[in-house]
Structures are given as C-alpha cells and as structure tokens.
Amino acid sequence: MIASQLPEYPWQRAASDLFQLNGSSYLVEVDYFSHYPDVELKTTTFRGVIDAVKAVFSRHGNPQKLISDNGPQYSLEAFATFAKDYDFIDTTSSPQYPQSNGQAE
C-alpha cells in the first residue's frame, strides 16, 4: 500500500465511517491533518448520513476530499450528488482492505 501525502491544513482531507455503540448508530469523521475525531449521532439511512456529514462540515468546513468505506449510504447516487453540490471529492477505500481508511476504521 502506498502512503498518501499529508494534507497541508486541518480538514483538507477527512475520513468518514459509521459504527454502533450500545445500540445507537454514530457517524465519525476524522481529520487527516490533526487526527481530530468528530462524532455525530444519527440514523444509518442515507439521508441521516448526509445530514450528519453536513453537521460536521458546518463545524469544520467542507474538506477537499472525504474518504469513506463502501457502505451503501456512501455508494448511492444521492451521496455523489451531495458531494458535487458541496464541492468535495468523494473517495472510497478498498473493499478488500477497509483499513486503508485507517483514520476512521
């Protein structure tokens, strides 16, 4: 695996993933520059994920690139449209090697 170049400033590149804890669903976004995590409690529907990502963006600004796993919420056309509307590159980690999104995994 080839290491990616470090970002030049906070929230230029972020990682995003969903997880469950004690029966609740969460979205975590991690800044690649500072490694700062931001956690948002939402549902795991595609609309809930988009709303949670928007909430994180409202606190830190939109990244140039958002790296996520290959979860269905990130793979829908609606998420691609959201990425275009909010002017960020939506990238997914390798399905065979999800640890490539190590900031959020």
For the chain, the average pLDDT equals: 87
- pLDDT tens by residue, 21-47: 999 999 999 999 999 999 998 788 999
- pLDDT tens by residue, 63-86: 999 999 888 899 889 999 999 999
Predicted TM-score (pTM) of the model is: 0.83
Task: Kindly list the structural domains of the chain, giving each domain's residue range(s) and its CATH number in brackets, ordered by start.
Answer: 13-95 (3.30.420.10)
Assign 4 a pLDDT band (cuts: 50, 70, 90): low
Please, are residues 88 and 77 in contact by the beta-carbon 8 Å criterion? no
Which DSSP string corresponds to 38-95? EEEE--SSHHHHHHHHHHHHHHH---SEEEE-S-HHHHSHHHHHHHHHTT-EEEE-BT
Q: What is the mean pLDDT of residues 45-73?
A: 94
